[in-house]
Structure 1
Amino acid sequence: KALGQIVFSDSEQLSLLNSVMEPLIREEIFRRLNQENNADLVVLDAPLLIEQHYDKICDFIMTIDVPKKIQLERLIERDKLSEDDAKSRIESQLSSRERNGFADVVIDSSGTVEQTRKQVIKWLKTINV
């Protein structure tokens, strides 16, 4: 939580953290992908998928979209953040519009978990997984 307060309030600190962590994360992603060579489907859940160019190694890009108000409420509740801290985290990311522009499919998660799950399953059926 303390690290989040530092990096999400100072873009230089966030860049520094990303420059330290990105090579380690990339190495771990490829290590795990190499272990999953017989899998029918591998999901890469990466908050910086586009920014760190992991989209280049993906066959499909799915983004999860939600209205900003709900996103803010969920982040505050999940991470026990102040509204200002939650807004700083959201603002450090690509906008929904930018992120969704890279997507093969956009899932609306403004409803229930079950509604979101149904959208994902429906999409998976279209790609024959």
Structure 2
Amino acid sequence: MNENPPIIGLTGGIGSGKSAIASVFKEHGCVIANADENVKVVLRDSEVRDQLVQWWGSQVLDIEGHVNRSVLADIVFQDPNARKMLEALVHPRARQMQEAQFSNAPQGTRGLVIDAPLLLEAKLDALCEIVVFIDASREIRFGRVQNTRGWTEEELRRREEAQLPLDTKRNRADYVLINEGALDEAHDQVQQILQDINNRRRG
């Protein structure tokens, strides 16, 4: 039997609620590596900030001298080469943080969960024993990003076109978890997934 906790990757469309589902996995005894939060930490590194300014000028900084993630996102969404440059700079550092978070997982941890918007695009699924696709209708997802980020339909469409198609993500997943209602409804699904993984390993 494999004694190391399974690495579980979460993927899904924008606004599907990946981080909310990650919090449910945490309640069920998992350790979470949040890629977005790790990237925020990386972008505060002076070496990273200076490199970004060298590439794209002071426009990437806000009035306090911190990296402006909105400006940075606009740059890389419009230029695939810029996106590759940014990923090559940021992803290895974020990956190191993730490895440290997982290596410090306490005894009895049921799973190590990667909560990453670009799990498949960044090939993080290669690290995962299981990939879970978080599913929600476009209407629900748009409502969420409209309320939390102020996005328009056009902005959601533009952002999604920069990612793999949802059908591709869904087809590459081992499980599909529906997240269209209250989080309470996700607990049974998460528990079942963790139990299935445990049974598979014991079998």
TM-score, normalised via structure 2 length? 0.55
Rg larger in 1 or in 2? 2
Alignment match, 2:156: 86
Tell me the CA shift for residue 98 of structure 1: 0.7
- 8 Å contact kept, 2:134–2:176: yes
Offset at 1:107?
Answer: 0.6
Are residues 85 and 14 of structure 1, via their aligned partners in 2, closer, same or farther at CA, if it must alter by over 3 Å? farther
Question: Paired residue for 1:7, among 57, 76, 85?
Answer: 76
State how many pairs are aligned: 129
Question: 2:86 matched to which residue of 1?
Answer: 17
Output one character per residue of 1:38-88: Cα deviation in whole Å (capped at 9) or x when no partner.
333211111221122221221111110122232222122222223322222
Match of 1:61 among 117, 131, 141: 131
Q: Within 1, Cα distance between the matches of 2:82 and 2:157?
A: 17
**SS of alignment partner, residue 69 of structure 1:** helix
Contact 1:107–1:119, Cα closer than 8 Å, also in 2: yes
Task: Identify the match of residue 118 of structure 1 among 188, 192, 198.
Answer: 188
Gaps of at least 5 residues in structure 2 are 1-69
Q: Would you say the 8 A contact 1:64–1:108 is kept in 2?
A: yes
How far is 1:105 from its partner? Answer: 0.5
Q: Report the AA paired with residue 104 of structure 1.
A: D
Shift of 1:92: 1.5
TM score, norm. by length of structure 1: 0.81
Identity rate, percent: 27
Partner of 2:142: 72
Whole-angstrom CA distance in 2 between matches of 1:40 and 1:116 = 17
User: 2:110·2:194 contact (CA, 8 Å) conserved in 1?
Assistant: no
Give 2:96's match in structure 1, choosing from 16, 27, 50. 27
Describe the shift of the 1:106–1:5 C-alpha distance in structure 2 as closer, same or farther (beyond 3 A).
same
Bigger strand share? 2
Aligned-partner Cα distance in 1 for 2:123–2:162? 16
Matched, 1:44 2:118: no
Query: Unpaired segments of 5 or more residues in structure 1?
Result: none
Return structure 1 stretches of 4+ with deviation > 6 angstroms: none
Task: Give the Cα–Cα distance (whole angstroms) in 1 for the partners of residues 144 and 87 of structure 2.
Answer: 24
Residue 37 of structure 1, CA deviation:
6.7
Opposite residue 81 of structure 2, the aligned amino acid is: E
